[in-house]
Structure 1
Amino acid sequence: MPVVNARIDASAELADPALVNVYGCTIGAGTRVGPFVEIQRGAVVGARCRIGANAFLCEGVTLEDDVAIGPGVMFTNDRHPRAVTAAGALMGPEDWTLETTRIGAGAVIGANATILCGLSIGPGARIAPGSVVTRDVPAGAHRAGVPAAPSHPAPHPSSLLTPVEAP
């Protein structure tokens, strides 16, 4: 698996360059990339991001700073994927339309989520593991399910404690 023609900040960490497929992309300062990750040409990864093992960031994906991508997260960039043209020829770059996706600063995308193309996930948004995101997600929102729908975050453990009355 190659690391080819990528602009990778010197402070970024690749789990093992032999275990990633990173080409023609940009990876920002302090970002950590896990094993068996593919980041394609034209993808942009901001500073201090964390990309879990087996994630796939295709052309057209932009992660702003401080984004966490869980293991096995998949992005798409073609709304109507096909193998061949109407004439039966294998499709080439000129035969489809690239759809971009932007993930806002501080967003978290849980393991095995799928993010369809042409979307924006706002800063600080949280996507639950296994979700399929089919629509834009506003800043700070939580989404879960297939298709992903509004959800409420789990309560913080400290909020589950019963207050003790003063003597």
Structure 2
Amino acid sequence: MPIAKDVQLGKDVKIFHPDLVNLYGCLIGDETKIGTFVEIQAGAKVGARCKISSHSFICEGVTIEDEVFVGHGVMFINDKFPRATTSTGELQGPEDWKVETTRVGRRASIGSNATILCGVIIGEGAVIGAGAVVTHDVAPNMTVAGCPARPMRSESGEEAEAQTLIPGVWPERMSR
């Protein structure tokens, strides 16, 4: 069954083609829309009035706050050091790795085919460009794009300063 019995669905959730999604152990807020071929894993939380577009993957450890847009084919990651096997060559089990959490703030927008690495916070109202690879926290109302994602526009709407285009360099005004 594509939608497991342990899924907590809010009021008026719309799931397009319920037979073509994979939801288990997750929480989905009121009035959220979920497209086809979406997987949302156990322990993930999606807020109210979100739109999760088709072919997206939301893994354990991800919290998406209210009114967030997730474009087509967005991938979240929850493991900093993924491996198939242990040092002894046995297949890894749940005890062999640590889930890293990720949070997406209210009213953020994530463009199609973006990849969100684990352990980051995407601030309220932030915009992630299509195809971006987010490796660091994104300040509220900041627009980022590229691989790795870099600030393009500040919350005031002006172009980001040249220094913000260097990966890992975040001006004080953008720190959390």
TM-score normalised by the chain length of structure 2? 0.86
CA-CA distance at 1:10 after TM superposition: 2.9
Structure 1 distance, partners of 2:112, 2:20, is: 19
In structure 1, stretches of 5+ residues that fail to align are 157-167
CA-CA distance at 1:152 after TM superposition: 2.7
Match for residue 28 of structure 1?
A: 29
Identity of aligned residues (%): 55
Aligned residues between the structures: 154
CA-CA distance at 1:94 after TM superposition: 0.2
Match for residue 66 of structure 2?
A: 65
Is 1:78–2:79 an aligned residue pair? yes
Q: Which amino acid aligns with 1:37?
A: V
Match for residue 165 of structure 1?
A: none
Structure 2 distance, partners of 1:23, 1:98, is: 17
Is 1:122–2:123 an aligned residue pair? yes
Structure 1 distance, partners of 2:119, 2:151, is: 19
TM-score normalised by the chain length of structure 1? 0.90
Structure 2 distance, partners of 1:118, 1:150, is: 18
SS state of the match for residue 153, structure 2? coil
Structure 1 distance, partners of 2:61, 2:13, is: 21
In structure 2, stretches of 5+ residues that fail to align are 158-176
Match for residue 7 of structure 1?
A: 8
Q: Which amino acid aligns with 1:146?
A: C
SS state of the match for residue 118, structure 1? coil
